[in-house]
Amino acid sequence: MKSYYEMIFKRRSIRKFNANLSISEDLMKTIKDKIKTLIPLDSSIRTAFKIVKREETTAKFGEYCILFYSENHPLKLLNAGYMLEQMDLFFTSLSMGACWYGIARTKEKKLDGLDYVIMIAFGKVSSTELRSDISQFNRKKPMEIWQGEFNQKIIDAAILAPSACNSQPWRVQSNPKLITIHRKKNVKTIMTPRIRSYFNMIDMGIFLCFIDILLDYYHIVYTREISTEFNTDTDFVKIAEYNIK
Ligand SMILES: Cc1cc2nc3c(=O)[nH]c(=O)nc-3n(C[C@H](O)[C@H](O)[C@H](O)COP(=O)(O)O)c2cc1C
């Protein structure tokens, strides 16, 4: 996972593509080969990916869309965020444009018996509009997200994760031996509660992907335990716990 580290600081959602530049066959093969190497959050969950032309969806930008399908499973949305964020960061490494696209729709709601979950639109851009400084991120302050002692570089990088409507639903408590990650249900956003719950669980998977990249990068050895029950009445839903060795 640590190979994605530098992309954390460069990525951004790209919504402007150059219609005159198209993805070559070779590049498409590179992208498809990459999909085969994605690390799942839970390898027991059956998933599938399909790349379609943007016109086959309701997406308004991008040359292609990568559609993610999954079997029904308690960790379906977390796993979607975890796996597709690796693609998002991979597109950044290729200086391509990409954007998570929750509101776009596809007619293909099923693939090999698996349910459609979400897509990322991607394509070529005329110039790389990657970020070069942390100040270019519009994010909550670390202290609003993360309480407790931990490597400050990890805290500062983890909070750069992308989320639906930039709602940043993650809340973290830590001490040097334990990181506990919660989803705050009641985040300020224009999303309705049902949509918010769906997308924010994908966001939490994205955040776990960032945490794993960062822990790996800093050679921190850990065991990770993901919750399986998310229907609680409390505002903070426990998502995962990391025990640091
Ligand atoms: C699960 C998810 C769904 C998203 N859906 C959309 C979308 O439908 N349309 C869009 O323009 N951006 C969408 N985004 C992009 C977010 O708005 C964006 O990641 C966030 O504002 C942070 O900005 P950044 O990605 O440039 O860092 C989505 C992001 C995530 C993680």
Q: Would the CB of 203 count as within 6 Å of ligand 1?
A: yes
Q: Which residues are registered as beta bridge partners of 222?
A: 244
For residue 158, the surrounding DSSP H or E stretch is helix 152-158
Q: Is the CB of 162 under 6 A from ligand 1?
A: yes
- The residue whose CA is least distant from atom 9 of ligand 1 is 101
Residue 148 sits at φ, ψ, to 5 deg, of 110, 170
Residue 179, pLDDT > 80, answer: yes
- Answer whether residue 98 shows pLDDT above 80: yes
pLDDT tens readout for residues 16-40: 998 899 999 999 999 999 999 999 9
Q: Which sign does the torsion angle of CA 169, 175, 176, 179 carry? A: negative
Superfamily of domain 2-123: NADH Oxidase (3.40.109.10)
Give the residue among 230, 219, 211 at the shortest CA–CA distance from 8.
Answer: 211
Give the closest residue to 38 by CA, choosing from 76, 77, 4: 4
State the pLDDT at residue 127. 80
Identify the band that residue 126 occupies on the pLDDT scale cut at 50, 70 and 90: confident
Work out which ligand 1 atom sits closest to the CA atom of 15: 11
10 close to ligand 1 (CB < 6 Angstrom): no
- What is the CA(13)–ligand 1 centre distance, in A? 6
Contact 200, 167 (CB under 8 A): yes
Spatial separation of the C-alpha atoms in residues 201 and 92, rounded to whole Å? 23
C-beta of 60 in contact with ligand 1 (< 6 A): no
Does position 128 have pLDDT exceeding 80, yes or no?
A: no
Question: Stretch 85-103: mean pLDDT, rounded?
Answer: 97
Q: pLDDT grade, residue 84 (50/70/90)?
A: very high
- Measure the CA–CA gap between 222 and 177, rounded to whole angstroms: 9
Say if ligand 1 is within 6 A of residue 207 CB. no
How many angstroms separate the CA atoms of 4 and 170, rounded?
20
Query: Coil, strand or helix: which one is 37?
Result: helix
Domains 2-123 and 135-244 share a fold: yes
Burial of 186 (C-beta count, 10 Å sphere; 0-12/13-18/19+): exposed
68 in contact with ligand 1, CB cutoff 6 A: no
φ and ψ at residue 152, rounded to 5 degrees: -65, -30
pLDDT in tens, 2-14: 999 999 999 999 9
pLDDT over 80 at 149, yes or no = yes
Question: Considering the domain 135-244 in this protein, what is its CATH number?
Answer: 3.40.109.30
Output the residue whose Cα is nearest ligand 1's atom 29.
Answer: 164
Region 124-153 average pLDDT: 94
Domain ranges in the chain are 2-123, 135-244
